[in-house]
Amino acid sequence: MANIIKNPRNGCALHGALQTVQEIQGVVPVVHANASCGVINYLANSKTSGGNPRFSGYSTPGTAAQERHVIFGGASRLREQIKNTVKVVDGSLYIILNSCESAMVGDDVDAMTREIVEQGEPVVDTLIAGFNGSAYYGYEHVLADIFKSVYELKKNEGEKNPRLVNIFGIIPQKDPYWQGNLEEITRILNGVGLETNIFFGADGGTEDIENARNAALSITFGRWGELPAKVLNEKFEIPVIQRAALPINADDERALIEGIEEYITIDQETKEHFLEKEQKYELNYWSRVRDEIIENDLGRTVAIVGEEEHVIRLGKLVQEVFGAEVVAAVLTDALKKDEEHTLDNGEVLNSIAKNIYKTSDQKDINDIIRQSKAELVIGSSLEQHVADKHGIPLVEASYPVYHKTILNHSSIGVRGIVGVIAEYITAVKQADKEKEEKLQNKLKEFKGQNVWQEHSYKKSHNVKQVGLVSQGAVRESI
Amino acid sequence: MAEKIGKHIAIYGKGGIGKSTTTSNISAALAEAGYRVIQIGCDPKSDSTNTLRGNNYLPTVLDSLREGNKIHLDDISVKGFGGVLCIESGGPVPGVGCAGRGINAAVNLLQELNLFEEFKPDYVLYDVLGDVVCGGFAVPIRDGITDRAYVVSSSDFMALYAANNLFKAINKYAPTGGAKLGGVIANSMKPGYHREIVEDFVEKTGTSIAGYVNRSIDVQQSELYGKTVIEAKPNSAQADIYRNLAKYIAENENLVVPNPLGSAELRDWARNWGDRIYDIESGVVGVAEAI
């Protein structure tokens, strides 16, 4: 029996693949899919927080497959599109994203790609049918497909870089803070003398794709990223470290660095010096809010809605900083059956949240939040409605975030997490203030009513008593 | 859906089993009897109506669709023997694209062009590739396009296997308004146990035989002339066989939802017949005992 999923937030695999390759500088995506598949992704993401990359929406090259391409095959249309694209758009790597139409009809895309590669153009093709999975699937598989074939094109091997680390799991556009988070993880690793291949954003690009094979290590944060890291491991024997979540404090940063030390030698003096500075920075800001924590009673019951990695990271943060209790955690990226990944975060999740749910159905999520009786929600803008309805503050930290522009802000590391702490406190204070204002307005109305009542019931002599009761009730609520 | 104009009949059968020959002869026999008939070939080979139109060139619906020009009924249809309106859905070149979606698109287009309102047929015959390999090939028996289907089969296991697949499709779609089965047209019948195999199959699946068509040199000869038997050899016994079959199909209202055999059941049934045929061929037992 089919079920309706309200406000699904994960998009399809093509969307994940498209937003992944769009954010690699130098890459030109060529979407071989039904007309508007790429545009739908643009329309969804253009309303969210992170701005738009060079190739987005209507400027993305695509075949816009029609019914006749389904019936007669779309390979020749794709050939036409690739040839035109390489003529008019400069790129250091052209990535063909074959989606549903191509997958179902079985277009011979390999032949089209070979043809254009033989003419000296850097083109790789990937088969990411939208129906294969969500945007998370698309992120992982498109990277895995690229790594499987790109080195056939880019023959120049370069040299192994013993300090280079590949970063996976910070998903472009899916993590509202992806740009800042990539910068923050780079800052941390640079701090102990390491270099990063972050692939995406201002400091990423096709060079990172080319250099990925020369890295000394790959790190995956959260569930998503294991597959491309595995491909690099199989092809170039690059070891992989899996972390349940991105770091939130100096201790996490230490644990991360010590994990890396199993594969890469790090100068101890540099490390300790760096971590000492991190600790100092953390202590400075965390202790600055101690009064806020007590005065505003910030140790509230919290519901967190987002990717598993967000839930682990932010759940741990609110527990440690505010003494909050996570009464409900909703994993919006969880699969019913996950046979592709080895990472099991069950234990970590249980240590963070009292109740764990797996759903991306807004109706379920709203019910979970309501039943949890949480006093604060950390989630996406899609939780705004339920939060407003129950008069509880919302901290927007997971996809999608509307009405807020997030560019290089981070939500990880000792520097990025300060912003999240500030947002949490601000959200609580604002909500409390709004609540207070609402009550005061009610009180005013009520007092106004009393005047009317005083006038109307002058002869009843009950006016004084009504006023006393209402004032008392208001004070208690405040 | 508006009331259907004429009886719409789908004729399925494994590739090469003789369904186009049979369908064309049924169309010709119905036309000869004075009915207005349309035959629509739903096979990418687009050779269903060849013998009705003397092998003359006929652009397929999908060829016209591919060119993207405005399509008129005259561009994609031609009147053949007895005024039978011949149409071929066509399809992609082998190994490319999706023929199933092609059939779907062609049938939709014919409806959009008001084919039936314009021609006002008494009978519409859809000659469909019979393995029902995907949803596209089930279009004629779905969505109320036809209300009855016949399957052409010889006594060969693969032909019966294809018939059984069609039964599965009918079984699935009939409860939601899809076509029911009119019967099995037993084709290429030779003397011996061949009839019995088909009869046993229809009994096991709760269906019936619509008619027997013997193997005949008249059919082969007529095809080589680019004609149906009705046209080329109107006085032959084979022509009468087709006339009787056409009459049966025109009048038959005994439509059923078949009970297809499961994979293991069909395999066991075939194995059992394999043993019996071996005994007959090797002379261990006579036909009567084996049956």
For residue B235, give how far its alpha carbon lies from the nearest alpha carbon of chain A (Å). Answer: 43
In Å, how far are A85, A454, A467 from A458, measured between CA atoms?
84, 5, 13
Alpha helices in B206-281 (DSSP H): 217-224, 229-232, 237-251, 263-281
Q: Quote the strand ranges of A332-431, DSSP E.
A: 356-358, 376-379, 394-396
Chain B residues in contact with A72 (beta carbon < 8 A): 62, 66, 92-93, 96-97, 102
Q: A90, A125, A153: which is the final residue of a domain?
A: A153
pLDDT higher than 90, residue A250: yes
Cβ pair A26, A93 in contact under 8 A:
yes
Q: Taking every pair of C-alpha atoms in chain A, what is the biggest distance, in angstroms?
A: 100
CATH of the domain at A60: 3.40.50.1980
Nearest in space to B169 (alpha carbons), one of B156, B160, B178 = B178
> Is there a single domain that holds both residue A337 and residue A245?
no
CA-nearest of A322, A327, A307 to A225 is A307
Q: What are the angstrom distances between the C-alpha of B155 and each of B159, B191, B192, B200, B286? A: 7, 11, 11, 10, 18
Supply the pLDDT for residue A202: 94
Please check whether residue A1 lies inside any domain of the structure: no
Domain assignment of residue A310, yes or no: yes
d(CA A397, CA A382): 11
Could you list the mean pLDDT of each consecutive 10-residue stretch along chain B, which spans 291 residues? 80 91 97 97 91 91 84 93 96 87 89 92 92 80 87 93 93 90 92 89 96 92 94 96 97 95 94 86 64 53
**Token digits for B106?**
């062609």
Q: Are residues A252 and A342 in the same domain?
A: no
Distance (Å) from the C-alpha of residue B33 to the closest C-alpha of chain A? 38
Same domain, A294 and A426: yes
- Alpha helix (H) ranges present in A289-403? 290-295, 308-317, 346-352, 362-372, 384-389
- For A157-214, the DSSP string reads -----TTEEEEES--TTTSTTHHHHHHHHHHHHHHTT-EEE--SSTT--HHHHHHGGG
The residues of B annotated with a catalytic role in the active site are 14, 19, 45, 131
**Quick check: B109 contacting A, CB < 8 Å?**
no
ipTM field: 0.80
User: Across A105-148, where does the E strand assignment appear?
Assistant: 123-127
From B118, B258, B119, select the one nearest B181 (Cα to Cα).
Answer: B258
Q: How many domains does chain A have?
A: 4
DSSP state of A341: -
pLDDT of residue A469: 41
Q: What is the mean pLDDT of residues A331-338?
A: 88
CB contact, 8 Å: B135 with chain A? no
Tell which of A127, A153, A179 closes a domain. A153
Q: Per-residue pLDDT averaged across A123-129, rounded?
A: 94
Of B65, B93, B99, the CB nearest to A68: B65
Does pLDDT of A460 surpass 90?
Answer: no
More confident residue, A464 or A260: A260
Residues A211 and A262 in one domain: yes
pLDDT at A472: 39
Which residues numbered 45-64 in B keep a CB inside 8 Å of some CB on A? 62
Q: Establish if A5 belongs to a structural domain.
A: no
Buried-exposed string A234-263: b where 16+ CB fall within 10 A, e elsewhere: eebebebbbbbbbbbbbebbbebbeebeeb
Q: Are residues A397 and A425 in the same domain?
A: yes
Are B96 and A67 inside 8 Å of each other by CB? no
Architecture of domain B7-260: 3-Layer(aba) Sandwich (3.40)
Domain that holds residue A128: 13-153
Q: Give how far A105 is from chain B: nearest CA, Å.
A: 5
Q: What tokens does A229 get?
A: 């890291």
**Chain A residues contacting B via beta carbons under 8 Å:** 67-75, 104-105, 108
Specify whether A179 is located in the same domain as A129.
no
- Mark whether A98 and A193 lie in a shared domain: no
pLDDT at A1: 53
Q: Are residues A373 and A471 in the same domain?
A: no
Per-residue confidence band for A44, with pLDDT thresholds at 50, 70 and 90: confident
- Say which of B68, B92, B105 has its CB closest to residue A73: B92
- Give the minimum alpha-carbon distance from B66 to chain A in angstroms, rounded to a whole number: 6
Q: Which of A66, A67, A72, A78 is the best mutation test for B, with the most CBs of B within 10 A? A: A72
| Domain definitions of chain B by residue range | 7-260, 262-291
Give dist(CA A212, CA A231) in Å, integer. Answer: 11
CB A318 within 8 A of CB A302: yes
| Residues found in chain A | 478
A331 assigned to some structural domain: yes
Asked whether the beta carbons of residue A70 and residue B96 sit closer than 8 angstroms, the reply is: no
Both A230 and A304 in a single domain? no
Judgement on whether residues A310 and A415 belong to the same structural domain of the protein? yes
Query: For the segment A436-445, what is each residue's pLDDT rounded down to a tens digit?
Result: 898 888 888 8
- Same domain, yes or no: A210 and A142: no
